[in-house]
Structure 1
Amino acid sequence: MSEWIYFFDLCGTAVFALSGALAAGRHRMDPFGVIVLASVTAVGGGSIRDALLGTTPVFWIRDPNYIIVILITVLLTMLLVRKPKKVPQHTLPIADALGLALFTVIGAEKALSLELGGMIAVVMGLITGVGGGIIRDLLCRQIPMILRTEIYATASILGGICYSLSIHLGAVDKQALVLAIIVALAIRLAAIKWHLSLPAFDLKTNKQ
């Protein structure tokens, strides 16, 4: 793993840990609950990805720096954010969007580094990007964002396609990485700002 990719992976871990910690604070969890929710949000998607790819032990077991980043993020969040419910409404979605973009590209890169095809890279990017958020939302008894109509998984898929296609066309790793992150992040932030969503599947049944 290159230094750039490792750096973005740690950044994504911190951002998703922040997302999980803020969600835990809004649900008035104790410090242990905050750590648990921040941890599963930060490493959940990547753990599922590594298990599916057979690259075990999973990344955070091989490199404890990820756990250190999570604990530092949780500590700073609990010290500096005294009233999570008063944090601006868009803070959590924006943090989640940034984590989604970062982890999407990391997941796609991991698949390509194992010489897997572009389609698998896009799928692994999606799993890495949304997996932790799904676990977080389920633990908070909320419908995961990937199952709602808002544009979420779509941003991850397009980011993964952008990265895979850029690499296929011969782009430098760093350039492909930054471009794909910008694409996924821009799409997700646009969806948040303008409330963009996909059409809902509404199955109507005949009333007896």
Structure 2
Amino acid sequence: MSWELLSIIGTIAFAISGALVAMEEEYDLFGIYLLGFVTAFGGGAVRNILLGIPLSQLWHQDRLFLIAFISISLTCVFHQSLMPHWNKWGNIFDAIGLSAFAVQGALKAVDMDAPLLAVIFAAILTGSGGGIVRDVLAGRKPILLQSEIYAIWAGIAGLLIGTGLLTTNVQLWILFIAVTGLRMLSYLNNWHLPVIRMQKSSE
């Protein structure tokens, strides 16, 4: 499985996701494109910092920037048909982006001979980094920091790739589909991790 192909899939999915969030928040056209680009490339930037890759490499991705621009532009054109179904389409695109970038980030870390822990964190941060930046800029609570199961699926993908359990193209594609499906099941069935709440003292 080529990690470049996963970069394209993740870029399209997160560019659309960022654009839809910007429209929901009633951003202007510049804000829509800005949030779309930041969402599409934020995870890669976080991954590069983690793995010690120069951030300047992000600017040598002309094809991906063009793909993100086209994806955001098409979202602007067809927003009237997409926005009424935001809860469904937004989460689908987010799940696809999470899965694609998680697998891509793990493969990139393995390619650099990074230790297992770094592979797992590369999967988590590449998969969820763009969404975190998107939510922060949109004034929302990042999904990663909520109890809803989200980044755990990316971490599991990193673990399976980092330990060498999944290596063939078929296995990696199955993993990509599985992580996407599990993320959607988490959302649809409202799966949550335990929450520890601080008891407020009454004085």
Identify the TM-score tier after normalising by the shorter chain: over 0.9
Per the TM alignment, residue 160 of structure 1 is displaced from its structure 2 partner at its CA by: 1.6
For 2:44, which of 43, 46, 70 is the aligned residue? 46
Unaligned runs of 5+ in 2: none
Aligned residue runs from structure 1 range 12-91, under 5 A: 12-82=10-80, 85-91=83-89
2:144: which partner in 1? 146
Per the TM alignment, residue 55 of structure 1 is displaced from its structure 2 partner at its CA by: 1.8
In the alignment, does 2:178 pair up with 1:180? no
Q: Is the 8 A contact 1:107 1:125 kept in 2?
A: yes
For 1:194, which of 174, 180, 189 is the aligned residue? 189
2:131: which partner in 1? 133
For 1:171, which of 157, 167, 173 is the aligned residue? 167
Question: What RMSD in Å do the two structures reach over aligned CA positions?
Answer: 1.7
Please give the secondary structure, in 2, of the residue aligned with 1:190. helix
Q: Which moved more, 1:135-144 or 1:76-85?
A: 76-85
Per the TM alignment, residue 85 of structure 1 is displaced from its structure 2 partner at its CA by: 3.9
Please give the secondary structure, in 1, of the residue aligned with 2:195. coil
For 2:93, which of 90, 95, 109 is the aligned residue? 95
Per the TM alignment, residue 58 of structure 1 is displaced from its structure 2 partner at its CA by: 4.4
Per the TM alignment, residue 101 of structure 1 is displaced from its structure 2 partner at its CA by: 0.5
Runs of 4+ in 1 over 4 A off after TM superposition: none
Aligned counterparts of 1:58 and 1:119: Cα–Cα separation in 2: 25
Q: Which amino acid aligns with 2:62?
A: P
Aligned counterparts of 1:179 and 1:186: Cα–Cα separation in 2: 10
Aligned counterparts of 2:23 and 2:140: Cα–Cα separation in 1: 15
Per the TM alignment, residue 157 of structure 1 is displaced from its structure 2 partner at its CA by: 1.1
Aligned residue-pair number: 203
Per the TM alignment, residue 5 of structure 1 is displaced from its structure 2 partner at its CA by: 1.9
Per the TM alignment, residue 108 of structure 1 is displaced from its structure 2 partner at its CA by: 0.6
Identity over aligned residues, as a percent? 29
Per the TM alignment, residue 112 of structure 1 is displaced from its structure 2 partner at its CA by: 0.5
Please give the secondary structure, in 2, of the residue aligned with 1:90. helix
Task: Provide Cα deviations, 1:35-66, integer angstroms capped at 9, x if missing partner.
Answer: 10001100001111112322224443122111
In the alignment, does 2:7 pair up with 1:9? yes
Q: Is the 8 A contact 2:13 2:97 kept in 1?
A: yes
Per the TM alignment, residue 20 of structure 1 is displaced from its structure 2 partner at its CA by: 0.3
Q: Which amino acid aligns with 2:15?
A: A
Aligned counterparts of 2:165 and 2:72: Cα–Cα separation in 1: 40
